[in-house]
């Protein structure tokens, strides 16, 4: 640590103490000692190499071919070409000075048939090299088994709507624990269940484009919970002792609250929290297990009124509830923004009937918050602290690892809006740790670099690094936010006045 940095730290400690004494928030805040920093990507969003070696198509390869599905008409064939250039990604991670890198594994790259009958040598080889090189550079690999790129072959058999997916997912997990578990010590089973189940099976906005609202999406929810639990139990029983790592799930945990203090709005906000987060977290983290009662009741009532002889939400049996309960070693938390719910604005028939939105039964918006002109994510930093506290209070204060947080815009190297977003959100996170006692051990910026933002294609950017898509080599350049993140990690202080000047660097 340089002399200047030591001085900054000393100043920070003084000002934090002074701030506490005066009851005011310190201007410069020291970062808690145990808090580690990382950056994240996902296979389909950065790898490219869509048909390299024996890789088979994923549901997102298929989805991109449907005209009009991706806003700017782009696809995932090449994106950032990390399959080819992963070493440059590692150089970028070193530049930032991160403790860990969160990446995901492409199921159809590793198992071209979707099943574990044939393991791709090149597919496993790619991830093995990535892991080795991360470790050689002192960066911890954090691997997600599933970040939405299901083999198309399995979708042809129903994908997440087929209960057998739990067998297929367990087999896939075993292949990866066997091949990489000697070196990967932190596993994430599924990324953001809501996003791939509700959008993928209940709307036409996401792969696999199964538009079965309020039915197919809920089948996927039940099956994914069981699949996740199978992968966790497998790790717990057969690998934990010899590999000495941990395994969990990461859940989209944007906050929901009433748009006003009226009891109806407050109730709508609470129900939305149960639908948005509790649907996935309650079965795993609550002491009783199972879906939140409020969700079970609402879907059963609506189903009956709609003439369904049984609830559209498949039941979890007692054994299934027990099997799923407790299957995560930590709470994986992804967060971007907050929505405010108004009960009175909901009118029957305004959403598809049946559907998830109709079951939630309230209208949501972003309140008075205005997105910056170049912004995509709405900055509502108070919401992250509330969401962290909701997790802490609902689930007996689990260890929380923040695996995604970031700001989307439409591009540019001087991304001061993104820096502001990170500063405000980290300030709220530090309050959650220091004032509220949330046990947060990891923070991850989404994303290391601009990449394929699902149905938005390449048009929306979340990266700390810009990627030049016109250039065959996909040259990456640090945005101002990358320089800021590097300073944050090196100095271990959150300094509101740190606004670095762009540096002309290429990776
Ligand atoms: C997903 C990422 C995505 C990010 C920004 C999360 O929902 O896990 O894949 O790029 O949000 O939209």
Give phi and psi for 274, each to the nearest 5. -65, -40
500 domain residue, yes or no: no
H/E segment holding residue 332: strand 331-335
The CA radius of gyration of the chain, in Å to the nearest whole number, is 22
The pLDDT of residue 14 is 37
Q: How far is the CA of 332 from the centre of ligand 1 (A)?
A: 14
Decide: 446 in ligand 1 pocket, CB within 6 A.
yes
Name residue, tokens 């305004």. Answer: 350
17 domain residue, yes or no: no
Decide: 462 in ligand 1 pocket, CB within 6 A.
yes
Distance CA 260, CA 267 (A): 10
pLDDT average, residue stretch 372-385: 97
**Token digits of residue 446:** 């989404």
> Residue 185, class by beta-carbon neighbours within 10 Å (0-12 exposed, 13-18 middle, 19+ buried)?
middle
Number of domains observed in the structure of the chain: 1
The pLDDT of residue 302 is 98
Check whether 337 has a pLDDT greater than 80.
yes
345 domain residue, yes or no: yes
Full-model pTM: 0.95
pLDDT average, residue stretch 437-457: 98
507 domain residue, yes or no: no
Residues ≥6 apart with Cβ < 8 Å to 289: 282, 283, 321, 322, 324, 325, 326
Residues ≥6 apart with Cβ < 8 Å to 425: 335, 379, 381, 384, 405
Distance CA 482, CA 93 (A): 10
Check whether 70 has a pLDDT greater than 60.
yes
| Order of all β-strands in the sheet with 338-342 | 255-258, 338-342, 363-365
pLDDT band at residue 24 under the 50/70/90 scheme: low
Check whether 23 has a pLDDT greater than 50.
no
Contact in structure between 248 and 332 (CB atoms under 8 Å): yes
Q: For a ligand 1 pocket test, name from 146, 404, 458 the mutation site with the most ligand atoms within 8 angstroms of its C-beta.
A: 404
Decide: 250 in ligand 1 pocket, CB within 6 A.
no
pLDDT band at residue 9 under the 50/70/90 scheme: very low
Q: Each residue of 252-283: pLDDT tens digit?
A: 999 999 999 999 999 999 999 999 999 999 99
Decide: 453 in ligand 1 pocket, CB within 6 A.
yes
Q: How far is the CA of 5 from the centre of ligand 1 (A)?
A: 33
11 domain residue, yes or no: no
Q: How far is the CA of 500 from the centre of ligand 1 (A)?
A: 26
The boundaries of the domain holding residue 175 are: 29-494
13 domain residue, yes or no: no
5 domain residue, yes or no: no
Decide: 260 in ligand 1 pocket, CB within 6 A.
no
The 8-class DSSP code of residue 500 comes to P
**CATH code where residue 420 lies:** 3.20.20.80
Q: Each residue of 460-481: pLDDT tens digit?
A: 999 999 999 999 999 999 999 9
The pLDDT of residue 25 is 61
Pairing of strands 338-342, 255-258: parallel
* 19 vs 316 pLDDT, higher one: 316
pLDDT average, residue stretch 444-451: 99
Q: Which residues are catalytic?
A: 192, 404
Q: Each residue of 100-156: pLDDT tens digit?
A: 999 999 999 999 999 999 999 999 999 999 999 999 999 999 999 999 999 999 999
> Residue 366, class by beta-carbon neighbours within 10 Å (0-12 exposed, 13-18 middle, 19+ buried)?
middle
Contact in structure between 175 and 111 (CB atoms under 8 Å): yes
The pLDDT of residue 343 is 97
Q: Report the C-alpha dihedral over residues 103, 182, 115, 225, rounded to 10 degrees.
A: -60
82 domain residue, yes or no: yes
Q: How far is the CA of 75 from the centre of ligand 1 (A)?
A: 16
Q: Each residue of 34-68: pLDDT tens digit?
A: 999 999 999 999 999 999 999 999 999 999 999 99
CA distances in angstroms from 97 to 100, 366, 404, 435, 467, listed in the order given: 9, 34, 18, 27, 20
């Amino acid at each position: 640590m340089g002399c200047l940095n030591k001085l900054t730290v000393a100043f920070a400690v003084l000002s934090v103490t002074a701030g506490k004494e005066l009851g005011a928030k310190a201007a410069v805040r020291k970062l808690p000692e145990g808090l580690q920093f990382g950056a994240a990507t996902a296979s389909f969003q950065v790898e490219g190499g869509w048909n390299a070696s024996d890789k088979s198509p994923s549901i997102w390869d298929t989805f991109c071919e449907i005209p009009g599905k991706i806003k700017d008409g782009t696809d995932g064939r090449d994106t950032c070409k990390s399959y080819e250039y992963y070493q440059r990604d590692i150089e970028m991670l070193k530049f930032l000075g991160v403790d860990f890198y969160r990446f995901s594994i492409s199921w159809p790259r590793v198992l071209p048939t979707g099943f574990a009958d044939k393991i791709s040598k090149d597919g496993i080889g790619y991830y093995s090299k990535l892991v080795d090189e991360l470790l050689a550079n002192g960066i911890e690999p954090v691997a997600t088994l599933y970040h939405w790129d299901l083999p198309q072959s399995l979708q042809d058999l129903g994908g997440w709507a087929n209960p057998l997916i739990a067998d297929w997912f367990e087999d896939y997990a075993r292949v990866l624990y066997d091949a990489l578990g000697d070196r990967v010590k932190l596993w994430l089973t599924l990324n953001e269940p809501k996003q791939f189940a509700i959008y993928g099976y209940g709307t036409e906005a996401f792969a696999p484009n199964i538009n079965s609202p309020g039915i197919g999406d809920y089948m996927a929810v039940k099956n994914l919970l069981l699949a996740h639990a199978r992968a966790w139990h497998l790790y717990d029983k057969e690998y934990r002792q010899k590999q000495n790592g941990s395994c969990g799930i990461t859940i989209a945990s944007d906050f929901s609250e009433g748009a006003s203090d009226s009891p109806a709005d407050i109730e709508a906000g609470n129900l939305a929290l149960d639908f948005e987060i509790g649907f996935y977290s309650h079965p795993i983290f609550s002491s009783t297990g199972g879906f939140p009662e409020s969700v079970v009741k609402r879907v059963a009532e609506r189903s009956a009124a709609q003439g369904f002889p049984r609830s559209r939400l498949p039941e979890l049996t007692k054994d299934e509830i027990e099997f799923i309960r407790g299957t995560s070693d930590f709470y994986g938390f992804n967060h971007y923004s907050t929505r405010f719910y108004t009960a009175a604005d909901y009118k029957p028939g305004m959403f598809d009937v049946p559907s998830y939105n109709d079951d939630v039964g309230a209208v949501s918006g972003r309140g008075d918050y205005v997105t910056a002109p170049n912004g995509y994510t709405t900055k509502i930093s108070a919401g992250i602290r509330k969401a962290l506290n909701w997790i802490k209070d609902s689930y007996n204060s689990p260890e929380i690892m923040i695996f995604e947080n970031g700001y989307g815009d439409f591009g540019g190297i001087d991304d001061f809006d993104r820096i502001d977003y990170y500063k405000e959100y980290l300030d709220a996170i530090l309050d959650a740790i220091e004032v509220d006692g949330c046990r947060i051990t990891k923070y991850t910026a989404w994303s290391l670099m601009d990449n394929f933002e699902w149905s938005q294609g390449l048009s929306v950017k979340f990266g700390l690094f810009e990627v030049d898509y016109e250039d065959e080599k996909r040259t990456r350049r640090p945005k101002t936010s990358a320089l800021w993140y590097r300073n944050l990690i090196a100095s271990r202080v959150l300094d509101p006045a740190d606004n670095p000047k762009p540096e002309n660097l290429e990776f």
